[in-house]
Structures are given as structure tokens and as C-alpha cells.
Amino acid sequence: MATPAQPRAADAPPTPVAALRAALKAGREALRESFLAKPDTPKLLREHARLVDTAIRGAWRESRMPSSRSAATAAANCTPAPTSTCSC
């Protein structure tokens, strides 16, 4: 059973997840305002994709996961033969 999140002090710095959510919320609101001022669906979709891509890259960096090239190399080096087990 999951435990509820503990409340944080008002002066505590935001967690990376909270900062990411806030950036997405602010970005989406800016996109909404821009779209309502001058509707342009292709532009909205491009800019939203850019916003989400930036957020995903930031989350990836924050998690300190290996770069995609490193991860792909590790996966390629850990492809077991049909009769063996992976020794990663």
C-alpha cells in the first residue's frame, strides 16, 4: 500500500519532479494563450512536442541515466545467445 507524500516546508526547494510539472504547466498555459490569440494547430502541435521533448530530456538528465548511445551499446553487448544467459 502506498503511503501519502509528506508535506514539504514552504521554503524548501522544489523537487525535480515538482519543477518538471511546474515547467510543463507553465509551458502549456503559454501555448494555450498563444493559440487562443492566434489559432494555428500545426504550430501548437510542434511547440507542444518541443515542450514535452525538453521535459523528457531534462528528466532523463536528472535521473542520471546513461545517454541513449551508452544504453544502446549496453543493450547490444548484453544480447544473450539462445542457449546462454546474460552475464551483465
Rounded CA-CA distance 52/55 in Å is 5
Rounded CA-CA distance 17/7 in Å is 14
Q: What's the alpha-carbon Rg for the chain, to the nearest Å? A: 20
Please enumerate, as own/partner, the contacts of 74-80 that have beta carbons within 8 Å and a separation of 24 or more.
none
User: What does the pLDDT profile of the chain (88 residues) look like in tens digits?
Assistant: 555 555 556 667 778 889 999 999 999 999 999 999 999 999 999 999 999 999 999 888 888 877 666 655 555 565 555 555 555 5
